[in-house]
Amino acid sequence: MTERAHSGAAVLAEAATAAGFAPSVLNTQPWRWRVAGDVLELHAARERQLHETDPDARLLTISCGAALHHALVALAAEGWQARVERPAGSDLLARILLGSRSQVTADAMRHFQTLRVRRTDRRPLTTAPVPAADIDAVRRAGTLPGVDVHRLTPQQVSDLGVAAARADEIELLDPQQREEMAYWVGGDRPGGAGVPSDVVPPTPPAGIVPGRDFVRGGTLAVGAGSDRAAVYLLLFGGGDEPADWLRAGEAMSAAWLAATERGLSVLPFSSVIEVRSVRESLRRNALASLGYPFLVLRIGNGDPDHAAPPHTPRLPAAQIIDIA
């Protein structure tokens, strides 16, 4: 193997490690990386798929898209250009091909530093409004080829609240989904995956859009805030295939990092996407059936009187990265 290949493999392995900080549904981290010279392959890890909640792997693929974006952010911060190939119809979701060296920008370094501080915040929000300039910046960041970002109107937010409550009700009535949820949520998660108790409130926060019922209450301290000043952003696109879901994950990651850089709290809502009937109602009410919803992000100002939730655990690199 050439010196260039040795160097490229090390760079790509580091990028795959950084990608491990990406958000994923119930922190399942459903990806696996394979490093082969100057190529980094992203594979779906079916053993960490939520087979009851996510049988078509929609959220698995969105999660993998977030990891793909994180890896590209890490490479840019190291001064590497990269090209992405997107195979169709297999568990090989993407290939990152290492290119030439490039100038490291201040933006690239800031994005990389944000990877480690980004987190999911399930606490109620303050009543402080989100500046319009910050909302515009988040929307621009999340607008990628094939993915647009729509800010929900007050009526659409009200509809979203009804949809979220309905999705919770449907899923909690299914004993297999309850069992799957209980497996991935609660405790201290020593294995490195799943949602630990200290990032989940004792009870689902009330609001226009209620917090998710995780079957098990957590220990995260929350205040008496609400979501009345929250902004709800809907990521959507013209297609509804795995390639579109992967792009949606990249857009989610980009929007999330932009919000975090501006000191904003972010909470994804996936339950309204998991239940097909609820997803279709969201498509009709928010998009007039002109696009397909991928995910909803709640954006707002976190509670300054209570500590932010800790970061969720991460799987060891050896469990998610293979070196050929």
**Do 104 and 79 touch, CB atoms closer than 8 A?**
yes
For 249, counting Cβ atoms within 10 Å of its Cβ (0-12 exposed, 13-18 middle, 19+ buried), the class is buried
Q: Report domain extents, the chain.
A: 3-117, 132-300
Strand partners for 85: 95
pLDDT tens for the chain, 324 residues: list them: 344 544 789 999 999 999 999 999 999 999 999 999 999 999 999 999 999 999 999 999 999 999 999 999 999 999 999 999 999 878 999 999 999 999 999 999 999 999 999 999 999 999 999 999 999 999 999 999 999 999 999 999 999 999 999 999 999 999 999 999 999 999 999 899 999 999 999 999 889 999 999 999 999 998 888 899 999 999 999 999 999 999 999 999 999 999 999 999 999 999 999 999 999 999 999 999 999 999 999 999 998 888 889 999 999 999 999 998
pLDDT at position 14: 96
Strand order from edge to edge, sheet including 80-85: 80-85, 92-101, 39-44, 31-36, 321-323
**Do 40 and 71 touch, CB atoms closer than 8 A?**
yes
Q: CATH number for the 132-300 domain, one of 1.10.1740.10, 3.40.50.10860, 3.40.109.10, 3.40.50.80?
A: 3.40.109.10
Tokens of 151: 């800010």
Q: Which of 165, 132, 151, 145 is nearest to 262 (CA)?
A: 132
Q: CATH number for the 3-117 domain, one of 3.40.50.720, 3.40.109.10, 2.170.130.10, 3.30.930.10?
A: 3.40.109.10
